[in-house]
Amino acid sequence: MKTYNHDYSNLRLLKDYMKKNISNQEYSSVGVQIFIGNIENKDITIKIIEVIKSRIPDAQIIGATTDGEIVNGAIVEGTITISFFVFKKSFAKSFYYENNDLEMLNTCEIIVDAPSSCIAANIKKNLPDETKVIILLSDGLKTNAESLIDKIHKMIDIPVIGGTAGDNERFSKTFVIEGNSSVFCESGVVGFYLYGADLRTHCYYNDGWMGIGREFTITKSNKNVVQEINGMNALDFFKYYLSVDSTSIIKEMIVRFPLMVIRNGLEVYRAILGIDSNGYCIFASNIIEGEKFKISVGISNDLIENSRVNANTLINFDPESVFTYSCMARKKMLLSESVLEIDMLKTIKSTVVGFFTYGEFYKRGDYSAYHNETCSVLGLSENKKNKDRIEIKKRSPKFKKFLTEQLPSPASLVSNFLNRTNEDYLLISQEIYRRYVWCSLL
């Protein structure tokens, strides 16, 4: 297989690109992902789909609006990225479901969490034999992404990877795109089944965040809307602890310093989408009443080392194509580190494409989650593994540009300080209690 990425400028150049690279090839299946960096480009996207379908009638096409595009390992914004992946022996089959599809809901036997359960049931129902992985994209604001991946996990024992659409931090409208009918859907999902006996897949995700300070408790919430924290109004809580009065600045800071929640022994990160008139904080996914969390920070060296270790597993897998779905808050907070994370994938010598999301889907084996603040990566190949791949070593010249021996980052120093402070408070409390018990016995 091979992936061809086109940075769109006009229809004539798109036609020339397709004629040169794709139209004359022999293939078993062609999948197309269209990543749109400006939601105003709806009309031109429809024309792009028409051109693709005229040249490749059986192409399977999906897409999403973004918070930035990743094309050939470079991070860009406001563009239209068109990615063609051409299979020689395997197949791509697209799917599309709307949350408010009455026909789907009426024929679905599952009542609880009906949209998510019905979509998951339909994805399972239409699953081709020999499916190796599912690519899943949803809108970024209306679909309950956490419920969806949970229902899929319970019904389907196949890896799932992907993300939710963005709109350049406007948090107004996001779309996924279904290519067969040129539909822009504001509340629903699109995706691919990738299948075939010769198809090999490898997926992982990077995090690199660290919780700091004390734990707090969600004392009142409704799905993804947090109303109270430690008995305080959610907005008032963040104003108090962050010493900031501006609601807009509070929102910006929570994007940069996400909530770290522990679920089933695993760290799950949650990014904020908005704050309503009641001072309730709206997050990208559910936060359960009674859950405890910490504020987290991105630790540069930890992130890069985590990326290096995972990139080496991808090198060992030996992919022909790499798709990545990375959180917009990761790009915003980690800045140059996020660039290095994507740049590290370029050393694999495979075509890299993807986009910045409002959240990431990840399911592999017994683990399943809807993440914020992570970078999900999928490697694909139809060839047998090449054993002569060279890993990125921590002290190698290739890795020196990713990790330098410097003083600890400010975030690391803050984290260490706060954690030490909490340990001190704990020791003091234990000593006070010990003395109290001792005195009571006298």
Q: What does the domain layout of the chain look like in residue ranges?
A: 2-206+301-381, 209-296, 407-442
Q: What is the number of other CB atoms lying within 10 angstroms of the CB of residue 294?
A: 23
Cα end-to-end span (Å), the chain: 80
Backbone angles phi, psi at 248, to 5 degrees: -65, -35
Q: Which residue has the higher pLDDT, 101 or 281?
A: 281
| pLDDT for res 437 | 52
The predicted model scores a pTM of: 0.84
Task: Return the pLDDT at 396.
Answer: 47
Least confident piece of the model among 157-166, 182-191, 254-263, 405-414: 405-414
For residue range 63-73, list pLDDT tens digits in order: 999 999 999 87
* Residues 335-392 pLDDT 10s: 666 677 777 777 776 789 999 999 999 988 777 888 888 889 999 999 987 655 556 6
- Assess whether pLDDT exceeds 60 at residue 180: yes
User: Could you give the CA distance from residue 84 to residue 52 in angstroms, rounded to a whole number?
Assistant: 10
Specify whether the CB–CB gap between 246 and 334 falls below 8 A.
no
pLDDT in tens, 226-249: 999 999 999 998 888 877 788 887
The yes-or-no verdict on residue 108 having pLDDT over 80 is no
pLDDT class of 23 with cuts at 50, 70, 90: confident
SS (H, E, C) the chain: CEEEEEECCCHHHHHHHHHHHCCCCCCCEEEEEEEECCHHHHHHHHHHHHHHHHHCCCCEEEEEECCCEEECCEEECCCEEEEEEEECCCEEEEEEEECCCHHHHHHCCCCCCHHHHHHHHHHHHCCCCCEEEEEEEECCCCCCHHHHHHHHHHHCCCCEEEEECCCCCCCCCCCEEECCCCEEECCEEEEEEEECCCCEEEEEEECCEEEEEEEEEEEEEECCEEEEECCEEHHHHHHHHHCCCCHHHHHHHHHHCCEEEEECCEEEEECEEEECCCCCEEECCCCCCCCEEEEEEECHHHHHHHHHHHHHHHHHHCCCEEEEEEEHHHHHHHCHHHHHHHHHHHCCCCEEEEEEECCEEEEECCEEEEECCCEEEEEEECCCCCCCCCCCCCCCHHHHCCCCCCCCCHHHHHHHHHHHHHHHHHHHHHHHHHHHHHHHHC
pLDDT at 440: 55
- Grade residue 329 by pLDDT with cuts at 50, 70 and 90: confident
Calculate mean pLDDT across residues 84-92.
97
Which one has a higher pLDDT value, 228 or 331?
228
**pLDDT grade, residue 407 (50/70/90)?**
very low
Is there a contact between 43 and 142 (Cβ–Cβ < 8 Å)?
Answer: no
Please write the tens of the pLDDT for every residue from 125-142.
Answer: 999 999 999 999 999 988
Q: What is the rounded average pLDDT of the residues 178-203? A: 95
What mean pLDDT comes out for the span 395-410? 44
